[in-house]
Structure 1
Amino acid sequence: MIHAGSGGVGTFAIQLAKLMGAYVATTASDRGYALVQSLGADRIINYRKENFEEMLSGYDAVYDTIGGEVLEKSFQVLKPNGKIVSISGLPNARFGREANLGWLKTTLLSIVSHRITTLEKKNQARYHFLFMKPSGLQLERIKGYLEDGLIKPVIDKVYDFKDVGQAFQYLEGGSAKGKVIVKMK
């Protein structure tokens, strides 16, 4: 399950998951339906008309790009021992330990992520906050996928650098389908 499949991260995540052989469910609006379908999504939930947590169950994993209530509801679609990876939720104590943040910061993360930890236990799931780190090996692999045409970037709009404010306003509006590019020259 990949949330916001027609967004900048979602369009890439769907293609990568399909390349890895996954069955992919995603959320999208009417406007994004054809796009996520063209990227290979197997099941599309219209988040404006349907509740994904009522439509899906037994999933191995959820990739959360939204956080908040959507993240919390995502636990309901997992099978036991399923995993949620989030780029928008809160880091938890596990993240603090793995990142060697020390006792105090790890304890604070444990406190602020208590609700997520409770949902993890209740649903027999595993939650991971993903903090993006550069990896030459991963970038080299992705470069190969792009060069071989196995993953195609989805570009919504291109702005000149002088219009960067407009680009951010467009992104904040939440209707971008794919990536928004700002040209430096």
Structure 2
Amino acid sequence: MVDAFYIRKYGGPKVLERGQVPALALGPRDVRIRVHAASVNPLDLRIRQGDLKVLLPYRFPLVMGNDCSGVVTEVGQEVGRFRVGDAVYTRLPESRIGTFAEETVADEAAVAPKPTALSHVEAASLPLVILTAQQFLTEAAALKRGQSVLIHAGAGAVGSVAIQLAKHMGLHVVTTVSGRNVSFVQGVGADTVIDRQARRFEDVVRGMDAVLDSVGMANLLRSFNCVKPGATVVSIADGPDVALAKKLHVSALLWPVFWAMSARPNAAARRAGARYRYLFMRADGRQLESLNSLIENGSVRPHVDSVFPFEETPQAIARVEEGKANGKVVIRMCAD
């Protein structure tokens, strides 16, 4: 049995329980990981609340948590990349989440060696956000050196990493933050910072090649005023589209629902001569490993807002739910 935080139904903070759950079976291509630290993501809140139950039809009880860092304790018979004792980090595939626990099991394809420069706490803060940022910059928006990008909520977990990756790629980075975070995002590389409490960003930003929105529908729609024709506007918050429904094998009977949810940003994209995409990042251990060199040389630095012991997992989730964290909230299961 494994000590874990899980839910037996969707709902608010009170549905989260702590208890013993059966240890997961190990498949031939799986690795078992002793979790040293796991991070809390806004995605965890949406899963707990049932916001994604059409996309991700989980079974209960559901152990929460999407990414972690730890040490391999067992490998399947077909595993070739990892051995017992290896320090690793991972964003679990969306169909097999469960990192708020003493241990988890993951397909080796989703796992990467932990950067040696990072502690487990620091490493746990990165997989989901760095993969989201990388897939936005290089795939969804397919940006090239010299182009420009508007990254909303630059002091947030995804935003701060996206700024650093964008600067490494040679992009001009504009970001929006609240006034207290201006110096923070300047410190991670933003070229132009808009204090959203003082100015409307669409009044001063023009000609962007791409936008990353993690705020919500109203902010997303305003962002189309900031782009040039041919630009790409990407949401990781509101507006899931039919392409996502197809990717996650949602029944075709529900595609009209996704068409409706993305109708407003798609209409705004047509008016602006731009393209709209909804990004739901994929777990990819090889891609995660390819970014290790940027972490090792300091081009990308993790930003941890706060660390909670395992028994205070509900408080860690509450910290994210407040919406005031700068960087990631991490749960520590055991010392490095």
Common fold: TM-score over 0.5: yes
Q: Kindly, what percent of the aligned residue pairs are identical?
A: 38
Matching residue of 2:229: 80
Instruction: Give the TM-score normalised by the residue count of structure 2.
Output: 0.53
Unaligned 5+ residue runs, structure 1? none
Q: Separation in 1 of the partners of 2:318 and 2:246?
A: 36
Deviates more, 1:14-23 or 1:82-91: 82-91
Distance between the aligned counterparts of 1:11 and 1:95, measured in 2? 25
- Displacement of 1:136: 2.1
- In the alignment, what sits opposite 1:41? 190
In 1, the alpha carbon distance for the partners of 2:244 and 2:314 equals: 33
Match of 2:155?
A: 6
Whether 1:145 and 2:294 are equivalent positions in the alignment is yes
Structure with the higher fraction of residues in strand conformation: 2
Task: Give, in whole Å, the separation in 1 of the partners of 2:202 and 2:315.
Answer: 34
Q: Does 1:127 align with 2:276?
A: yes
Instruction: Give the TM-score normalised by structure 1.
Output: 0.93
Residue among 171, 175, 185 paired with 1:26: 175
Q: Structure 2: how far apart are the matches of 1:101 and 1:124?
A: 29
Return structure 1 stretches of 4+ with deviation > 6 angstroms: none
Residues 101-155 of structure 1 show CA distances to partners (whole Å, capped at 9, x for unaligned) of 4532323211222112211111111111111111122101222211121111011
CA RMSD of aligned residues (A): 1.5
Residues 141-176 of structure 1: CA deviation (Å, up to 9, x unaligned): 222211121111011111111122222222122211
Name the aligned partner's letter for residue 174 of structure 2: A
- What residue identity is the alignment partner of 1:65? S
Matched, 1:157 2:306: yes
Contact 1:92 1:129 (C-alpha < 8 Å) held by counterparts: yes
Q: Based on CA coordinates, which of the two structures has the bigger radius of gyration?
A: 2
Q: Distance in 1 between matches of 2:273 and 2:246?
A: 21
- One of 46, 54, 67 as aligned partner of 2:216: 67
Q: How many residues are treated as equivalent by the alignment?
A: 185
Q: Helix, strand or coil: the match of 1:149?
A: coil
Is 1:95 the equivalent of 2:244?
A: yes
Distance 1:125 1:100, change over 3 A: farther
2:261 and 2:180 mapped to 1: Cα distance? 35
Structure 1 distance, partners of 2:269, 2:246, is 17
* Structure (1/2) with the larger helix percentage: 1
The 3-state SS of whatever aligns with 2:222 is helix
Distance 2:233 2:266 in 1: 12
Between the aligned partners of 1:121 and 1:36, the Cα distance in structure 2 is 31
> Equivalent residue for 2:90?
none
